[in-house]
Structure 1
Amino acid sequence: MKVEIISKENIKPSSPTPCHLKTYNFSMLDQFIPNVYAPLLFYYPNDHDGNNGISRALERSIALKKSLSNTLTQFYPLAGTINKNQLSIDCNDVGANFVCALVNRRLDEFLSYPDYRQINHFLPFEPSLDGSTPSDHVLNVQVNIFECGGIVIGFCVSHKIFDGAGFSTFLKGWTNMACGAKEVVCPNLNVSSLFPAKELLNGGRYIIANYGSFLRKGNFSTKRFVFDSQAIALLKTEAAKNGVHHPSRVDVVSAFVWKCAMAASKEARGVKKPSLFVHTVNLRRKLSTKLSKDLLGNLIWFSYALCPTNYEPTLHGLVNKVRQSISKINNEFVDQVQGDEGHVALVKSLKEMEEIGTNETTDCYYVTSMCKMGFNETNFGWGKPSWVTSNICNDIPVFMNLICLMDTKYGTGGIEVWVNIDDEEMKILQGNPELLSYASLDPSPLERQLHITSNFAPHFTTRNMDKWDGRKPYDQVLKNPGQIASGMVLERFAFHPKHGVAKHIWAIQKPYQIMFSTAFRKALRFCPK
């Protein structure tokens, strides 16, 4: 696959930024965030047949430039550059870096079986731990146009400017502008007045304390585990029956993956190690101000839970540990941080975490959730994305154990879990039968409409999958007839959260031929619509 850059330009705000707004000051919370770029990618298929797909996509890229220019008038810090002192942004209207590229492949072919090694090619540049320099753009966008007219929009945004929720606010503003919506999103850019920056925090010392304990040297792998709503319901039931009160889907999925990761580490190293689980917490809901929803900036802090070697991990036990750690980041904590000595509480929290994390015998996992941020609703006027991803950190000398949670596109309540861990541990993790009984490993993000052409079709329903015990041939246990609806999602009827039927799906290949294990191929025959 070849990605060819055809244009680069700076998109400036449609109206100049007034003189009194030329400096955007970072907050105290921003000071704890490293000066690196946060990536995010949105995949838009071309739903129209015809030979003018590329032409239509090029027209859409031109429209994106115009709507971005109008949006930057409200989000003017994104058109600036970070000052040398890293305490502020010079809102000089340099503009956002906007790149357009052509890809010599169909988007549906790529999404049928995504090659994670290629994903970073859709970004304006590959993010690294080196960070950005004062002359770099705050916002970078690359529009990738595929042969079919499908589009992938890749973002690299300085993490100094905002977190995931802030990114969502910006995208809402841009998409509203692109679609001509009446609502104009006006971000609240006064976070520095709530959390004033402290000069003594500058210099990167506490950034190193925050992230340094998570960095490791060696080879590592990235895999994606997809939990559908039924699987998550089973995990929630399991936790609830052991005393957890109303566990959330993020609670149970993150704790379950932590449990499986600890098991992989123990098997790979031959010894059980203490495990530190650090979770990002959104502070917006804990602020007293009513304007917290659209606050731009990094309004996050970090909770941490420790699993010592003498603790036998269970799902409900780990859920309780995670919830207890998050509960400490409450309204009282936020009020304390907003005070004159607020930085003292933050530094104390980091030192406590650092004392545990810097121990070489401790496994550290950094967890972030982008669930319920609305990224799957990002519609620039030609439909919602079929997939949303972050970057894949391949071929760099250092890495961190990173777990990222994102909403699934299809269905309601599902979660995609992107896991970056040591290569040896990943080989064990991806073969964990307990994990695979609840999650499917790297399935295609595409939803395909299929017709079942065998006589067995009237007896194959999602409801009856609960009767399968994982051993008998499927046609011996499905007794109740039921017609499969045209357009039913493949994963809905080929995946059982308890018995892991989805692991029998090998690939989706052009022209959308489904390849099953021998037992499935004998029972069913599929063809594209």
Structure 2
Amino acid sequence: MKIEVQIISKEDIKPSSPTPPHLKTFKFSLLDQFIPSPYAPIILFYPNDCMTLAEIPKRLALLKRSLSETLTRFYPLAGKIKDDLSIECNDDGAYFVEAQVNCRLDEFLTKPDLLLLHRFLPCELMKELTAVTYLTNIQVNVFDCGGIAIGICISHKMLDGAALSTFLRAWSATARGCEEVIYPNFAAPSLFPANDLWLRDTSMVMWGSLFKKGKCITKRFVFDASAIAALKVVATSSKIKCPTPPTRVEAVSAFIWKCIMAASKEKHGYQTRRPCVLTHLVNLRRRMTPPLSDNCTGNLLWMAAAKCMTPDKPELHDLVGELKDAISKLDGEFVKKLSSDEGNSLMCESLKQIGELCSKDEVDHVGFSSWCNFGFYEIDFGRGKPVWVSSYGLSGSPVMNLLHADS
């Protein structure tokens, strides 16, 4: 049976209270300019916990009401782009879509068709943000069994993965009626002030060298606990190259990096020596001194880059060592300089170096972003936790979004 997603309704969900006049303009931080894509999509799938189909309208009403209350605290998300440096917090609201899916949730999840995931999302992912574009877009998809999939596209200019988690935790806590209210921390623009667009222009050159145009496919790979444990054992086989045990993210990233190089050798010929660059987005919140709150919103991340110059037969421990070394450079001292008067020159030099690593045609690239430890599988709107959480791939060079599986 062909799966169809039918749009039932569309509406704007406005904040439950108006934004005060002194908060009507919200400035982007300098690091917000680093982000190339308009949206960071996520889809959360929830089974029906004995709710009758007649109760679904009440469930949808609760999601809307709690979203309205949450937008009062996350007021920039209910605004529109004012210019390249700021948001007009005009309380226009979030775009909210209700849709019906003509199959059961368990039928879809048995073998998810990744090509259908975009149908559960409320907007085009690569659509440029303008003065009339919604910053927050949500689509609630109701399956025949009463299970739901909540597709969320919020402006990546406003939220990275950690900040997206903060918003979803706040929204879901409001839906559950929790006494403890989650508030965002909007400190990023003061820590990394932006007065012009130099970083955006510089970063676009760097991103242009990383992402290549071509046919794009989306695949899902699942590593269970035993597989990850085995990778860690192999990665620590050399105490010189990898003196400390890798994290699960480091072990899996290095393994996929190794596989990408093997695939490149098969494609271009085993006599070809093509260097391969790995980039990894790194959350800076806990690398700052003192560490920032997890509730600090915005894009508080930077990119680590490692290059394998001898891709003939790279050992896993070598690749883990290269990755660890690259990430370790983004330490407290680096972040301190990033937010100081040296920040502009440091960012510019860092982007230039990464761009130069990948600027040549005979260089391969694989990018990583980790959503592990962000608690997406803990997002409970009052009817239980999601059984599956998925992002959605965008076009370009190989990009891996790592997300821990529900235990």
TM-score (norm 2): 0.95
371, 381, 400: which one aligns with 2:397: 400
Aligned to 1:34: 36
Alignment-derived partner of residue 252 in structure 1: 251
Structure 2 residue 139 is the aligned partner of structure 1 residue 138: no
1:348 aligned partner: 349
- Measure the CA separation in 1 of the matches of 2:117 and 2:311: 41
Q: Which 4+ runs in 1 deviate beyond 6 A?
A: none
CA distance in structure 1 between the partners assigned to 2:264 and 2:195 by the alignment: 39
| Aligned length, in residue pairs | 400
1:334 aligned to 2:331? Answer: no
SS state at 1:171 partner: helix
3-state SS of paired residue (2:72): coil
Which residue of structure 2 aligns with residue 502 of structure 1?
A: none
Q: Deviations over 1:458-477 (max 9, x none)?
A: xxxxxxxxxxxxxxxxxxxx
In structure 1, what is the Cα distance between the partners aligned to 2:68 and 2:311?
A: 57
Which residue in the other structure is 1:383 paired with?
384
The alpha carbon displacement at 1:290 in A equals 5.2
Alignment check: 8 A CA contact 2:79 2:90 kept: yes
Deviations 1:133-162 (A, max 9, x none): 221111000000011001000001110001
**Paired residue for 1:82?**
81
What is the DSSP-based 3-state SS (H/G/I as helix, E as strand, rest coil) of the residue aligned with 1:72?
Answer: helix
Per the alignment, residue 221 of structure 1 pairs with 217
In the alignment, which residue of structure 2 is the partner of 1:320?
Answer: 321
- Residues 171 and 284 of structure 1: is their aligned pair in 2 closer, same or farther, counting only changes over 3 Å? same
In structure 1, C-alpha distance between the alignment counterparts of 2:357 and 2:132, rounded to whole Å: 37
Q: Percent identity?
A: 48
2:18 matches 1:16: yes
- Secondary structure at the aligned position of 2:383 is classed as coil
Quick check: 1:2–1:103 contact (8 Å CA) kept in 2? Answer: yes
Q: Residue in 2 aligned with 1:413?
A: none
Q: Given that residues 58 and 145 in structure 1 are in contact (C-alpha distance below 8 angstroms), is that contact kept between their aligned partners in structure 2?
A: no
User: In the aligned structure 1, how far is the partner of 2:398 from the partner of 2:131?
Assistant: 29
Q: Under a length normalisation based on structure 1, what TM-score does the superposition of the two structures give?
A: 0.74
1:35 shift after superposition: 5.2
Partner of 2:56: 57
1:234 Cα deviation from its structure 2 partner: 1.1
Letter in 2 for 1:115: D
Q: Which residue of 2 aligns with 1:70?
A: 69
SS of 1:199 mapped into structure 2: coil
**CA contact under 8 A between 1:57 and 1:151: conserved in structure 2?**
no
Mapping 1:463-502, distance limit 5 Å: none
Q: Distance in 1 between matches of 2:291 and 2:277?
A: 34
Specify the alignment match of 1:241 in structure 2. 237
Moved more, 266-275 or 345-354: 266-275
For residues 273 and 47 of structure 1, the distance between their equivalents in structure 2, rounded to whole angstroms, comes to: 52
Corresponding residue for 1:110?
Answer: 108
Q: Look up the SS of the partner of 2:386 in the other structure.
A: coil
| Distance (whole Å) between structure 2 residues aligned to residue 181 and residue 299 of structure 1 | 28
Q: Which residue of 2 aligns with 1:305?
A: 306
Q: Match for residue 154 of structure 1?
A: 151
Question: Does the Cα contact within 8 Å between 1:213 and 1:364 map onto a contact in 2?
Answer: no
Secondary structure in structure 2 of the residue aligned to 1:148? coil
Aligned match of 2:228: 232
Q: Secondary structure at the match of 1:277?
A: strand
In 2: Cα distance, 1:372 partner to 1:13 partner:
29
Q: Deviations over 1:439-471 (max 9, x none)?
A: xxxxxxxxxxxxxxxxxxxxxxxxxxxxxxxxx
Which structure 2 residues correspond to residues 40-51 of structure 1 after superposition, within 5 A? Answer: 40-48=42-50
For residues 353 and 72 of structure 1, what CA distance do their matches in structure 2 show? 37
1:370–1:406 CA contact under 8 A, matched in 2? yes
Are residue 409 (structure 1) and residue 394 (structure 2) matched? no
* Residue 200 of structure 1, CA deviation: 4.6
Match of 2:161 in 1: 164
Pair 377,310 (structure 1): closer, same or farther in 2 beyond 3 Å: closer
Pairing of 1:143-222 with structure 2 (within 5 A): 143-201=140-198, 204-222=200-218
Name the SS of the counterpart of 1:193 in structure 2: helix
C-alpha contact 1:282 1:300 (8 A) present in aligned 2: yes
CA shift for structure 1 position 310: 6.4
1:263 & 1:318 partners in 2: Cα distance?
13
By how many angstroms is 1:47 displaced? Answer: 2.9
Work out whether residues 280 and 303 of structure 1, in 8 Å CA contact, stay in contact via their aligned partners in 2: yes
Separation in 1, partners of 2:202, 2:146:
46
Instruction: Please list, as runs of the form range in 1=range in 2, the aligned pairs for 1:431-450 lying within 5 A after superposition.
Output: none
Q: How many Å apart are 1:291 and its aligned residue? A: 4.4
- Unaligned runs of 5+ residues in structure 1 are 411-529
How far does the alpha carbon of each residue in 1:350-373 deviate from its partner, in whole angstroms, 9 at most, with x for none? 000111111111001111000010
The CA deviation at 1:272 is: 3.2
For CA contacts below 8 A with separation 6 or more, give which structure has more relative contact order.
Answer: 2
Shift of 1:280: 0.5
Partner Cα distance (1:266, 1:35) in 2: 30
Question: Of the two, which has the highest radius of gyration?
Answer: 1
